[in-house]
Amino acid sequence: MLLIHCPYCQEERPELEFRNTGEAHIERPKDIAAISDAEFEKFFFIRANPKGVTYERWRHIHGCARFFNAVRDTVSDRFVTTYKAGQPRVEVERGEDGMLQIREPQS
């Protein structure tokens, strides 16, 4: 069973309690009425489908019901980290062992 960490409940719960709601950190148009049909199509329908690291929005449906973001490796289906919605995008990198890990901020 896949366990997912909810950053609000602060615990790992079974994947059946969650729903993937799509790509995270989508840049939305400032004035949607002023964009062309092609720009609207790109914003509304076209999403990345990467092999490897992906940033997703999830919802803890059968728990706190809140939205949060997750960094997941689509090859292994491993969750690297989860963080609250509205927080900045977390950067990740491959370690020497080949596993994904959170990139420490440069000071």
- What per-residue confidence (pLDDT) applies to 105? 57
pTM of the model: 0.81
- Between 78 and 107, the more confident residue is 78
Range 12-37 average pLDDT = 92
Tens of pLDDT, residue by residue over 73-99, are 999 999 999 999 999 998 888 888 877
Enclosing domain of residue 46: 3-102
DSSP string, 29-78: -S-GGGS-HHHHHHHHT-----SSEEEEEEE-TTTT--EEEEEEETTTTE
CATH number where 20 lies: 3.30.2270.10
Q: How far is CA 90 from the centre of its chain?
A: 10
Flag whether 107 is in a domain: no
Q: Which of the two residues, 12 and 105, has the higher pLDDT score?
A: 12
Q: Could you give the CA distance from residue 18 to residue 39 in angstroms, rounded to a whole number?
A: 31
The number of domains in the chain is 1
